[in-house]
A = this chain, B = another copy of it.
Protein backbone atom coordinates (compact mmCIF):
# COMPACT_ATOMS: atom_id res chain seq x y z
CA UNK A 1 0.00 0.00 0.00
CA UNK A 2 1.30 3.42 -0.94
CA UNK A 3 0.76 6.39 1.35
CA UNK A 4 1.49 10.11 1.42
CA UNK A 5 1.92 12.40 4.40
CA UNK A 6 0.74 16.01 4.40
CA UNK A 7 2.40 18.13 7.11
CA UNK A 8 5.70 16.29 7.14
CA UNK A 9 7.70 18.82 9.13
CA UNK A 10 5.50 18.68 12.21
CA UNK A 11 6.18 16.29 15.06
CA UNK A 12 3.47 13.78 14.17
CA UNK A 13 4.50 13.78 10.52
CA UNK A 14 8.07 12.99 11.49
CA UNK A 15 6.95 10.21 13.80
CA UNK A 16 4.88 8.69 11.00
CA UNK A 17 8.03 8.48 8.87
CA UNK A 18 9.80 6.50 11.58
CA UNK A 19 6.92 4.08 12.05
CA UNK A 20 6.27 3.54 8.35
CA UNK A 21 9.97 2.90 7.77
CA UNK A 22 9.55 -0.38 9.69
CA UNK A 23 6.06 -1.23 8.39
CA UNK A 24 6.07 -4.22 6.05
CA UNK A 25 2.90 -3.44 4.15
CA UNK A 26 3.24 0.26 3.55
CA UNK A 27 5.46 2.32 1.31
CA UNK A 28 5.78 6.05 1.85
CA UNK A 29 5.68 7.61 -1.60
CA UNK A 30 5.44 11.34 -1.02
CA UNK A 31 5.77 13.89 1.74
CA UNK A 32 4.29 17.37 1.69
CA UNK A 33 4.72 20.62 3.54
CA UNK A 34 4.59 24.36 3.07
CA UNK A 35 8.15 24.87 4.28
CA UNK A 36 11.45 23.46 3.05
CA UNK A 37 9.84 22.38 -0.22
CA UNK A 38 12.36 20.83 -2.59
CA UNK A 39 14.83 19.75 0.09
CA UNK A 40 15.39 16.16 1.09
CA UNK A 41 13.81 15.40 4.45
CA UNK A 42 17.16 14.04 5.64
CA UNK A 43 18.88 17.32 4.74
CA UNK A 44 16.44 19.25 6.89
CA UNK A 45 16.55 16.60 9.62
CA UNK A 46 19.94 14.86 9.54
CA UNK A 47 18.80 12.28 12.09
CA UNK A 48 16.77 10.75 9.23
CA UNK A 49 19.77 10.26 6.95
CA UNK A 50 19.44 6.81 5.46
CA UNK A 51 15.91 6.48 6.88
CA UNK A 52 13.95 8.80 4.61
CA UNK A 53 15.63 10.65 1.80
CA UNK A 54 12.44 11.70 -0.03
CA UNK A 55 12.15 15.29 -1.18
CA UNK A 56 9.56 17.52 0.45
CA UNK A 57 6.87 18.53 -2.04
CA UNK A 58 4.21 21.19 -2.19
CA UNK A 59 0.73 19.97 -1.43
CA UNK A 60 -1.05 18.73 -4.56
CA UNK A 61 -4.18 16.67 -4.02
CA UNK A 62 -4.34 15.27 -7.54
CA UNK A 63 -0.77 14.11 -7.47
CA UNK A 64 -1.33 12.33 -4.17
CA UNK A 65 -4.47 10.71 -5.50
CA UNK A 66 -2.57 9.43 -8.50
CA UNK A 67 0.52 8.31 -6.66
CA UNK A 68 -0.81 6.92 -3.39
CA UNK A 69 -3.62 4.84 -1.92
CA UNK A 70 -4.14 6.79 1.30
CA UNK A 71 -3.14 10.13 2.78
CA UNK A 72 -2.26 11.03 6.35
CA UNK A 73 -2.99 14.60 7.45
CA UNK A 74 -0.48 15.54 10.13
CA UNK A 75 -1.30 19.22 9.91
CA UNK A 76 -2.20 21.83 12.55
CA UNK A 77 -5.91 22.27 13.26
CA UNK A 78 -7.69 24.30 10.60
CA UNK A 79 -5.70 22.91 7.68
CA UNK A 80 -7.13 19.46 6.99
CA UNK A 81 -10.67 20.83 7.00
CA UNK A 82 -9.84 22.93 3.96
CA UNK A 83 -7.80 20.31 2.10
CA UNK A 84 -9.81 17.14 2.69
CA UNK A 85 -12.75 17.83 0.43
CA UNK A 86 -10.99 16.96 -2.81
CA UNK A 87 -10.00 13.56 -1.42
CA UNK A 88 -13.43 12.85 0.00
CA UNK A 89 -15.04 13.62 -3.32
CA UNK A 90 -12.65 11.23 -5.00
CA UNK A 91 -13.47 8.65 -2.32
CA UNK A 92 -9.75 8.57 -1.51
CA UNK A 93 -8.94 7.33 2.02
CA UNK A 94 -7.78 9.80 4.69
CA UNK A 95 -6.48 9.43 8.20
CA UNK A 96 -6.60 12.88 9.79
CA UNK A 97 -4.45 13.27 12.90
CA UNK A 98 -5.68 16.81 13.53
CA UNK A 99 -8.81 17.85 15.40
CA UNK A 100 -10.63 18.99 12.28
CA UNK A 101 -12.96 16.05 11.81
CA UNK A 102 -13.66 14.95 15.38
CA UNK A 103 -16.44 17.28 16.48
CA UNK A 104 -19.74 18.65 15.18
CA UNK A 105 -19.22 21.93 13.33
CA UNK A 106 -20.65 24.17 16.04
CA UNK A 107 -18.70 22.52 18.84
CA UNK A 108 -15.50 22.70 16.78
CA UNK A 109 -16.01 26.38 16.16
CA UNK A 110 -16.64 27.09 19.84
CA UNK A 111 -13.54 25.26 21.13
CA UNK A 112 -11.06 25.67 18.26
CA UNK A 113 -12.07 29.21 17.31
CA UNK A 114 -11.67 28.28 13.66
CA UNK A 115 -13.94 27.65 10.72
CA UNK A 116 -15.21 24.07 10.80
CA UNK A 117 -15.22 21.55 7.98
CA UNK A 118 -18.40 21.29 5.94
CA UNK A 119 -21.04 19.10 7.52
CA UNK A 120 -21.24 16.79 4.55
CA UNK A 121 -17.51 16.16 4.87
CA UNK A 122 -17.69 15.75 8.66
CA UNK A 123 -20.43 13.17 8.25
CA UNK A 124 -18.12 10.96 6.27
CA UNK A 125 -15.53 10.75 9.03
CA UNK A 126 -15.42 8.15 11.80
CA UNK A 127 -13.82 9.09 15.13
CA UNK A 128 -11.62 6.09 15.79
CA UNK A 129 -10.27 5.22 19.21
CA UNK A 130 -8.62 2.00 18.09
CA UNK A 131 -9.69 -0.13 21.06
CA UNK A 132 -13.36 0.80 20.70
CA UNK A 133 -14.16 1.70 17.12
CA UNK A 134 -14.67 -0.83 14.36
CA UNK A 135 -12.91 0.79 11.41
CA UNK A 136 -12.65 -2.26 9.16
CA UNK A 137 -13.41 -0.97 5.69
CA UNK A 138 -13.82 2.66 6.73
CA UNK A 139 -12.28 5.27 4.48
CA UNK A 140 -12.22 8.49 6.49
CA UNK A 141 -10.75 8.41 9.94
CA UNK A 142 -10.59 11.16 12.55
CA UNK A 143 -7.71 10.08 14.74
CA UNK A 144 -8.25 10.99 18.44
CA UNK A 145 -6.37 13.72 20.31
CA UNK A 146 -3.52 12.86 22.66
CA UNK A 147 -5.11 13.94 25.95
CA UNK A 148 -8.40 12.47 24.77
CA UNK A 149 -6.84 9.06 24.09
CA UNK A 150 -5.27 8.80 27.54
CA UNK A 151 -8.42 9.97 29.30
CA UNK A 152 -10.95 7.98 27.31
CA UNK A 153 -9.05 4.71 27.70
CA UNK A 154 -9.03 5.29 31.48
CA UNK A 155 -12.70 6.20 31.79
CA UNK A 156 -14.67 4.22 29.22
CA UNK A 157 -14.62 0.88 31.08
CA UNK A 158 -15.90 2.56 34.26
CA UNK A 159 -18.48 4.75 32.56
CA UNK A 160 -19.73 1.99 30.29
CA UNK A 161 -20.28 -0.33 33.26
CA UNK A 162 -21.94 2.40 35.31
CA UNK A 163 -19.47 2.05 38.19
CA UNK A 164 -18.72 5.68 38.99
CA UNK A 165 -20.49 8.92 39.86
CA UNK A 166 -19.99 10.71 36.59
CA UNK A 167 -20.46 14.17 38.08
CA UNK A 168 -17.46 13.60 40.36
CA UNK A 169 -14.89 13.12 37.59
CA UNK A 170 -11.81 15.31 37.80
CA UNK A 171 -8.94 14.82 35.36
CA UNK A 172 -5.54 16.33 36.11
CA UNK A 173 -3.58 15.70 32.92
CA UNK A 174 0.07 16.53 32.21
CA UNK A 175 1.97 16.51 28.92
CA UNK A 176 5.50 16.89 27.64
CA UNK A 177 6.36 19.72 25.28
CA UNK A 178 5.99 17.91 21.98
CA UNK A 179 2.26 18.03 22.70
CA UNK A 180 2.40 21.76 22.05
CA UNK A 181 3.97 21.32 18.64
CA UNK A 182 6.90 22.99 16.94
CA UNK A 183 5.66 26.56 16.99
CA UNK A 184 8.04 29.03 18.58
CA UNK A 185 6.49 30.85 21.52
CA UNK A 186 7.37 32.14 24.96
CA UNK A 187 5.83 29.03 26.42
CA UNK A 188 8.04 26.69 24.37
CA UNK A 189 11.31 28.55 25.04
CA UNK A 190 13.65 26.22 26.91
CA UNK A 191 14.24 28.63 29.78
CA UNK A 192 10.50 28.97 30.45
CA UNK A 193 9.86 25.22 30.50
CA UNK A 194 12.93 23.74 32.16
CA UNK A 195 12.67 23.62 35.96
CA UNK A 196 9.10 24.84 35.64
CA UNK A 197 5.60 23.37 35.74
CA UNK A 198 2.60 25.33 34.57
CA UNK A 199 -1.10 24.78 34.04
CA UNK A 200 -2.58 26.14 30.80
CA UNK A 201 -5.93 26.33 29.03
CA UNK A 202 -7.60 25.38 32.32
CA UNK A 203 -11.26 24.55 31.58
CA UNK A 204 -10.67 25.56 27.95
CA UNK A 205 -8.65 22.76 26.36
CA UNK A 206 -10.11 21.72 23.00
CA UNK A 207 -9.94 18.03 23.88
CA UNK A 208 -12.67 18.46 26.54
CA UNK A 209 -15.65 18.24 24.16
CA UNK A 210 -14.03 15.31 22.36
CA UNK A 211 -13.77 13.38 25.65
CA UNK A 212 -17.30 14.22 26.76
CA UNK A 213 -18.73 13.27 23.37
CA UNK A 214 -16.93 9.94 23.43
CA UNK A 215 -18.05 9.12 26.96
CA UNK A 216 -21.62 10.07 26.16
CA UNK A 217 -21.68 7.25 23.62
CA UNK A 218 -21.32 4.93 26.62
CA UNK A 219 -23.55 6.84 29.04
CA UNK A 220 -26.07 9.22 27.57
CA UNK A 221 -26.34 11.09 30.88
CA UNK A 222 -22.66 11.87 31.03
CA UNK A 223 -22.25 15.50 32.23
CA UNK A 224 -19.38 17.92 31.59
CA UNK A 225 -16.05 16.93 33.14
CA UNK A 226 -13.45 18.91 35.05
CA UNK A 227 -10.24 18.72 33.04
CA UNK A 228 -6.89 20.46 33.55
CA UNK A 229 -3.76 20.34 31.44
CA UNK A 230 -0.22 21.16 32.53
CA UNK A 231 3.21 21.20 30.92
CA UNK A 232 5.84 18.78 32.19
CA UNK A 233 9.50 19.65 31.52
CA UNK A 234 10.00 16.59 29.31
CA UNK A 235 9.75 16.08 25.56
CA UNK A 236 7.23 13.25 25.44
CA UNK A 237 4.48 11.64 27.41
CA UNK A 238 1.07 12.27 28.90
CA UNK A 239 -0.20 11.19 32.27
CA UNK A 240 -3.92 11.55 32.86
CA UNK A 241 -4.71 11.31 36.57
CA UNK A 242 -8.42 10.64 36.91
CA UNK A 243 -10.28 11.04 40.20
CA UNK A 244 -13.86 9.81 40.62
CA UNK A 245 -16.20 8.58 43.33
CA UNK A 246 -17.53 5.04 43.16
CA UNK A 247 -21.25 4.42 43.04
CA UNK A 248 -22.80 2.79 46.09
CA UNK A 249 -22.03 -0.93 46.46
CA UNK A 250 -19.33 -0.86 43.80
CA UNK A 251 -16.25 -2.77 44.96
CA UNK A 252 -12.64 -2.33 43.85
CA UNK A 253 -12.86 -5.78 42.30
CA UNK A 254 -15.60 -4.50 40.01
CA UNK A 255 -13.21 -1.85 38.76
CA UNK A 256 -10.51 -4.45 38.20
CA UNK A 257 -12.96 -6.66 36.32
CA UNK A 258 -14.11 -3.83 34.12
CA UNK A 259 -10.55 -3.01 33.09
CA UNK A 260 -9.68 -6.67 32.55
CA UNK A 261 -12.76 -7.22 30.42
CA UNK A 262 -12.04 -4.12 28.36
CA UNK A 263 -8.35 -4.68 27.71
CA UNK A 264 -7.28 -8.29 28.21
CA UNK A 265 -7.36 -8.91 24.48
CA UNK A 266 -6.03 -5.50 23.45
CA UNK A 267 -2.34 -5.62 22.53
CA UNK A 268 -1.60 -1.97 23.28
CA UNK A 269 -3.34 -1.46 26.63
CA UNK A 270 -1.56 -2.90 29.65
CA UNK A 271 -3.49 -2.86 32.92
CA UNK A 272 -0.87 -2.69 35.65
CA UNK A 273 -0.87 -3.86 39.25
CA UNK A 274 0.99 -0.75 40.33
CA UNK A 275 0.54 2.84 39.30
CA UNK A 276 2.19 3.31 35.92
CA UNK A 277 5.07 5.72 35.44
CA UNK A 278 5.50 7.97 32.43
CA UNK A 279 8.78 6.46 31.20
CA UNK A 280 7.23 2.97 30.98
CA UNK A 281 5.49 3.84 27.71
CA UNK A 282 7.63 6.53 26.05
CA UNK A 283 8.78 5.44 22.62
CA UNK A 284 6.01 2.85 22.27
CA UNK A 285 2.35 2.60 21.31
CA UNK A 286 1.34 1.26 24.73
CA UNK A 287 -1.20 2.74 27.13
CA UNK A 288 -0.50 1.68 30.72
CA UNK A 289 -3.35 1.96 33.20
CA UNK A 290 -3.33 1.46 36.98
CA UNK A 291 -5.65 2.44 39.81
CA UNK A 292 -5.93 2.73 43.58
CA UNK A 293 -8.92 3.22 45.85
CA UNK A 294 -9.14 5.37 48.98
CA UNK A 295 -11.73 4.00 51.39
CA UNK A 296 -11.68 7.13 53.53
CA UNK A 297 -12.80 9.39 50.71
CA UNK A 298 -14.47 6.87 48.36
CA UNK A 299 -12.23 8.21 45.58
CA UNK A 300 -10.83 5.93 42.91
CA UNK A 301 -7.65 7.26 41.30
CA UNK A 302 -6.99 5.94 37.80
CA UNK A 303 -3.69 6.74 36.12
CA UNK A 304 -3.22 6.37 32.40
CA UNK A 305 0.05 7.05 30.55
CA UNK A 306 0.83 7.22 26.85
CA UNK A 307 3.46 8.57 24.50
CA UNK A 308 1.60 11.59 23.11
CA UNK A 309 3.27 11.28 19.69
CA UNK A 310 2.65 7.55 19.34
CA UNK A 311 -0.52 6.20 20.97
CA UNK A 312 -1.56 9.86 21.19
CA UNK A 313 -1.02 10.56 17.48
CA UNK A 314 1.05 8.73 14.85
CA UNK A 315 1.11 5.32 16.51
CA UNK A 316 -2.64 5.17 16.83
CA UNK A 317 -2.96 6.45 13.26
CA UNK A 318 -1.01 3.44 12.02
CA UNK A 319 -2.93 1.17 14.39
CA UNK A 320 -6.10 2.51 12.77
CA UNK A 321 -4.64 1.93 9.32
CA UNK A 322 -3.85 -1.68 10.24
CA UNK A 323 -7.41 -2.18 11.50
CA UNK A 324 -8.96 -0.51 8.45
CA UNK A 325 -7.05 -2.86 6.21
CA UNK A 326 -7.64 -5.96 8.30
CA UNK A 327 -3.91 -6.37 8.91
CA UNK A 328 -2.28 -7.43 12.16
CA UNK A 329 -3.08 -4.58 14.54
CA UNK A 330 0.53 -4.39 15.71
CA UNK A 331 2.25 -4.26 12.32
CA UNK A 332 4.94 -1.54 12.33
CA UNK A 333 4.29 -0.82 16.00
CA UNK A 334 6.71 -3.20 17.74
CA UNK A 335 8.60 -0.40 19.43
CA UNK A 336 9.61 -1.24 22.98
CA UNK A 337 9.39 1.69 25.44
CA UNK A 338 12.74 3.46 25.73
CA UNK A 339 12.51 3.52 29.55
CA UNK A 340 16.21 4.48 29.95
One complex includes copies of this chain to the number of 4
Interface centre among A168, A228, A292, A340, by most chain B C-beta atoms within 10 angstroms, is A340
Within 8 A of B (CB), among A1-38: 11, 14-15, 17-18, 21-22
List, in ascending order, chain B residues with CB within 8 A of A182's CB. 189, 191
- Asked if B184 and A186 sit within 8 Å, CB to CB, the answer is yes
Would A224 and B296 be within 8 Å (CB), given that A196-B277, A241-B172, A241-B199 are in contact? yes
Q: How long is the Cα–Cα vector from A241 to B203 in the complex, in angstroms?
A: 14
Q: How long is the Cα–Cα vector from A242 to B177 in the complex, in angstroms?
A: 23
- Asked if A196 and B46 sit within 8 Å, CB to CB, the answer is no
- Asked if B48 and A336 sit within 8 Å, CB to CB, the answer is yes
Q: Size class of A's contact patch?
A: 35 or more
Whether a CB of chain B sits under 8 angstroms from the CB of A193 is: yes
A residues neighboring B (CB under 8 Å):
11, 14-15, 17-18, 21-22, 45-51, 167-168, 170, 172, 174, 177-178, 182, 184-186, 188-199, 202-203, 223-226, 228, 230, 232-237, 239, 241, 243, 267, 270, 272, 274-284, 286, 288, 292, 294, 296-297, 299, 301, 303, 309, 334, 336-340
